[in-house]
Structure 1
Amino acid sequence: MEILNYILDMGGSVVMPIIITIIGLIFGQKFSKAFRSGMTIGIGLIGINLITGLMGDYVSPAAQAMVERFGINLSVVDVGWPVSSAIAFATTIVPWVFVTCFVLNIIMLATNTTKTLNIDIWNYWHFILTGSLVQTATGSLILGIIASGLTFIIVMKFADYSAPRVQEYFGLPNVSTPHTETVSWAPLCILLDKIYDKIPGFNKIKFDGDTIQEKLGFLGDPIVLGLILGAFIGLLAGYEPNALITLAVQMSAVMFLLPRMVKILMEGLMPLSEDAKKFMAKRFPGKEVYIGMDAAIATGSPMVVSAALLMIPITLLLAVALPGNKLLPLVDLSTLPFFMIWPVVASRGNLLRAIITGCLMMTAILYIGTDLAGTATAVAQATNFAFPEGATAISSLDIGAHLVPYIIYKILALF
């Protein structure tokens, strides 16, 4: 635990360069090349985190202002994914899950049951969260480990299944995204898009980035689009003109800068991807390996960010309108770009389809987050989490987005 915590406390942007450098050496790269790839990817991740953090710094207060302005009052507090991950890492199941998932990945690669080499070790907290929820609900460490292992296997299969779409849409060769709260929704989003294709009239509507720019001209430019969407959120928040303009400019900056941060990450990833392909072709002819990365690499698309900004007020509206929902979306509204990856990718960038799929997804996420609040609160209490003032129950949109873990949790909780 002390060794793991020492490494993980450095954060993904520090852990990832170390892992990339080691893997680069395994794939036959010179140390200088492997080290530069690792550092470039780490710098790209830092850049992405800075920009998404900038978005959170401005979106969260706007969301809070909307909550106060429209008198939204729900009993379960959204504490956000950073708190969820910290709670997961504080549980006793951590080392067992790390060993289980690492061994499973090696076995699955060796037996050709996955193509994904999951190097996103920092985000193993997704699998740890699954195990901690099941362990808390059942009182069984064994069932918790089984739940984590099952989640890992399913997520790896989903990553393989969805990788061609990720590679095509984002231009990420030999990459997959075994990121639980995003890829869990990939099959559903793809299915919904196939249903849209069967609807007469609706299947002819094209509203992707190129169409928007063609129809709207100057207004369809990502910079201007970010400005408009930011101003729209500011209006809903009831901001004064100076605060509204500030928010609009900041969202414009997010739209402009985020794709560039992803390009920096790609600069480091491409040499690794190419050398991995050569390594496998030489030693294992016909065997293909994907590099499993954090879904953050897919958040740089202007359509993903646009869909996420539009979904902020929609998510708040859903939280109020849905009968039985108790989760107040707040902190995790800034992570909506992660949740909107698959609605956008599945629809090939069609913003209208992405928003419709996003509404269905967020409905499910709110209900799952509400249902898991009791167990999530118990896990938090067991790890001595300091609750926000006045809060008696916690959860998050991120916890609600863990679809595969939720299904496994519901099944194993019966035991």
Structure 2
Amino acid sequence: MQFIKFILDLGPTVMMPIIIMLLGLLFRQGFPKAFRSGLTIGIGFAGIFLVIGMLTSNLSPATQAMVTNWGLHLDVMDVGWPIAAAISFGTPIVPAVFALGLFINVIMLAMNWTKTMDIDLWNYWHFIYAGALVMYLTNNAIMGIIASGITIIIILKLADWTQPYLVKVFDMPGISLPHTESVSWAPVGIFLNSLIDKIPGINKIDINPVKIQERFGVFGEPMLIGLVLGAFIGSLAGYDIKGIVQLSVNMAAVLFLMPRMVRILMEGLLPLSESGREYLNKRFPGKEVFIGLDAAVVIGHPSVMAVCLLMIPITLLLAAVLPGNRILPFTDLAGLPFCLLWAVAPTKGNVFRGLIISTILMVAILYIATDLAPVTTLMAKGVNFPFPEGTAAISSLDGGAHLIPYILYKIVELFH
């Protein structure tokens, strides 16, 4: 546990370069090339997380202002994904799930049951979270570990299934996204998109930033879209002119910088992908392997960001009007691109369809987050999570987005 904690405390920006370098050496890259690939990927991730930090630090005050201005009062506080991660890493099943996850992935690769090699060890907390939910429900660590194992298998299969979208929509060959709160919703998003295909009139509407840019040139660029959406969010937050302009420019910066940070990451990843393909073709002719990464590498796509910025006020409105909803969206509003990625990807970047599907998914996420509030509150007390003053119950939108763990939790609850 101490060793795992040390590795995790390094963070993705340090951990990923080490993993990439070791994989490069395994694939006979040579130390200089493997070292450069690893360091470049670390720099790419550092850049991505800096931009995400900019997004969060600017949107959090705006969302807090909207909550205050709109007079929203709900009894479950959205404390964000860190609570789910803290709960996960605070449970005793952590070492067992790490060992199990690596074992399952290696066996599935060897048996051709998956093409995804999940090197995103930091986000193993998603699998641990599934186990933690079941463990707290049953008071049985073995049941929790089994739930984690089932989650790992399902997520790896979903990562394989959705990989073609990463090529078509995001132009990222050789990569898959075994990211639980994202890819869990892929079947739902793909199904809803196929339903929209059958609705006359609606199926012809296509609002796509790429096509807008082709038509309007500089006025359709992602940074201009960020500028406009930043002004819209600032206006809803009740900001003055200065605040609106600052938020607008920062959102323009996010949409401008994110694709460039991803490009840096890909510069380091492509040599590894090529070396891995050559290595595997020599020893296992015809075998294809995808590198499993954090969904952070694609959330900067203009369509994803446009939909998720528009979903901030829509999410607050849904929280206010949905009967039975108890969670007050707050911290995780800045993380909506992770939760709603697969509302946009199946549409090939169509913002109109993405908004429709995102709204439907968000209704489900709010209800799941509300349903998980009692067990989340119990688990948070178990790891001594510091509760916000005056808050009796907590949950998170991110926790509500963990669809596969939630389904397993409800199945066990049914028979427990």
State TM-score, norm by structure 1. 0.98
Partner of 1:121: 121
**Alignment check: 8 A CA contact 1:75 1:328 kept:** yes
**3-state SS of the aligned residue for 2:47?**
helix
Tell me how many residue pairs correspond in the alignment: 415
CA distance in 2, matches of 1:93, 1:378: 17
Where does residue 266 of structure 2 map in the other structure? Answer: 266
* Partner SS, residue 65 of structure 1: helix
Deviation at residue 336 of structure 1 after TM alignment: 1.2
Report what 1:64 is aligned to. 64
| SS of residue in 2 equivalent to 1:291 | strand
Deviations 1:101-147 (A, max 9, x none): 11111111111111111000110000111111110011111110010
Deviation at 1:215, TM superposition (A): 5.3
Which residue identity lines up with residue 363 of structure 1 in the other structure? V
Distance 1:22 1:347 in 2: 37
Q: Secondary structure at the match of 1:394?
A: strand
Alignment of 1:88 onto 2:88:
yes
Query: In the alignment, is the contact (CA less than 8 A) between 2:340 and 2:361 conserved in 1?
Result: no
Distance 1:167 1:409 in 2: 33
Where in structure 2 are there 5+ consecutive unaligned residues?
A: none
Distance 2:253 2:77 in 1: 29
Q: Does 2:131 align with 1:131?
A: yes
The alignment partner of 2:178 has SS state of coil
> Where in structure 1 do 4 or more consecutive aligned residues deviate above 4 Å?
214-218
Matches of 1:211 and 1:168, distance apart in 2: 15
RMSD over equivalenced CA pairs, Å: 1.1
1:219, CA displacement in angstroms? 3.4
> 2:275 maps to which residue?
275
Looking at structure 2, the residues matched to 350 and 297 of structure 1 have their Cα atoms a distance apart, in angstroms, of 19
Q: Distance in 1 between matches of 2:210 and 2:135?
A: 48
- 1:403 matched to which residue of 2? 403
Residue identity matched to 2:248: A
Contact preservation (8 Å) 1:261, 1:300? no
Residues 186-335 of structure 1 mapped to structure 2, 5 A cutoff: 186-214=186-214, 217-335=217-335
Q: Could you say what secondary structure the match of 2:169 adopts?
A: helix
1:214-239 deviation per Cα after TM superposition (whole angstroms, max 9, x unaligned): 55554322111111100100110001
Identical residues among aligned pairs (%): 55
Match of 1:154 in 2: 154
Q: Is the 8 A contact 1:77 1:391 kept in 2?
A: yes
Q: Which AA in structure 2 matches 1:149?
A: G
Tell me how far 1:245 sits from its aligned partner: 0.9
Q: TM-score w.r.t. structure 2 length?
A: 0.98
Q: Residue 250 of structure 1 aligns to which amino acid in structure 2?
A: N
8 A contact 1:303–1:344 mirrored in 2: yes
Q: Structure 2: how far apart are the matches of 1:217 and 1:261?
A: 23
SS of the equivalent of 1:117 reads: strand
Q: Write out aligned runs for 1:33-48 (5 A).
A: 33-48=33-48
Query: For structure 1, which runs of at least 5 residues remain unmatched after alignment?
Result: none
Contact 1:143 1:412 in 2 (8 A): no
Equivalence for 1:363 = 363
Task: Give the whole-Å Cα distance in 1 for the aligned partners of 2:174 and 2:217.
Answer: 34
Structure 2 Cα separation of the partners of residues 148 and 382 of structure 1: 19
In structure 1, C-alpha distance between the alignment counterparts of 2:208 and 2:71, rounded to whole Å: 35
Counterpart residue identity of residue 349, structure 2: G
